[in-house]
Amino acid sequence: MSISLTNLSPLASLVFGILILVFPKFLNYLIAGYLILVGVIGLGLIK
């Protein structure tokens, strides 16, 4: 499986979802990190 921008966002959602289940105390940080990652991908800053 090659990782590209088209499948990076769903993969990040899955990883952050699992991390939230395992570490619920870090919910705010994980959501903030996910939103920043999706925003950077959406703006095209990661190529």
C-alpha distances in Å from residue 35, one per residue of 1, 2, 39, 45: 24, 23, 6, 14
Give pLDDT tens digits for 21-44. Answer: 999 999 999 999 888 888 888 887
Q: What is the pTM of this model?
A: 0.71
Q: Which two tokens stand for residue 23?
A: 């570490």
- Angular region, 44: left φ>0, alpha ψ -120 to 50, beta rest: left
Q: What is the pLDDT of residue 2?
A: 66
Tokens (6 digits) for 25: 């105390």
Residue ranges of domains in the chain: 5-43
Q: Give the whole-angstrom CA distance, residue 31 versus residue 3.
A: 22
